[in-house]
Amino acid sequence: MSLTWEQVVVDAADPVALGNWWAEALGWVVINESAEEYEIRPAADGLPGLLFTPVPEGKSVKNRLHLDFRPDDQEAEVTRLLALGARSADVGQGEQTWVVLADPEGNEFCVLRSRRH
């Protein structure tokens, strides 16, 4: 069997706004600008991508799946993401080496510590 990881689908109240936020946060390119399927990828032919689709209901509980990112400089990256509109999130993680943030629609993600530590 052969499978290729194509994308992660993210439910969104506003797929275009959330997709643009993630494109800026990650430095990725927009592949499809449709409000029904707004897609970003690391490069035009890069995988996996993020696909933002509209849903009528808002987020109400902690994500069952979240993304982890490993930056070169955790503190600088957290500061940058907060300046872009992310917010600190508490999902009961306690004192850890990673930082939990939420995107503008409340989807949690983690910024891990740098590998050099």
Same domain, 117 and 68: yes
Same domain, 54 and 86: no
CATH number, residue 30: 3.10.180.10
Domain hosting 106: range is 59-117
Of 62, 68, 78, 81, which is closest to residue 109 (Cα–Cα)?
A: 68
Predicted pLDDT at 62: 81
**pLDDT of 54-105, one tens digit each?**
999 888 888 889 999 999 999 999 999 999 999 999 877 778 889 999 999 9
pTM of the model: 0.90
Q: Are residues 65 and 85 in the same domain?
A: yes
- Render pLDDT for 105-117 as a digit per residue (tens, 0 to 9): 999 999 999 887 5
Tell me what pLDDT residue 115 has: 80
pLDDT for the residue 64: 85
> H or E element: which one contains 17?
helix 15-26
- Are residue 71 and residue 114 in the same domain, yes or no? yes
Q: Are residues 1 and 54 in the same domain?
A: yes
The pLDDT score that the predictor gives to residue 91 is 73
In the prediction, which pLDDT does 70 show?
96
pLDDT at 58: 83
Burial (CB count <10 Å: 0-12, 13-18, 19+), residue 59: middle
> What is the structure's pLDDT at 96?
82
The reply to whether 11 and 37 lie within a common domain is: yes
Residues 74 and 108 in one domain: yes
The span from the first CA to the last CA of the chain, in angstroms, equals 38
The reply to whether 78 and 114 lie within a common domain is yes
Total domains in the fold of the chain: 2
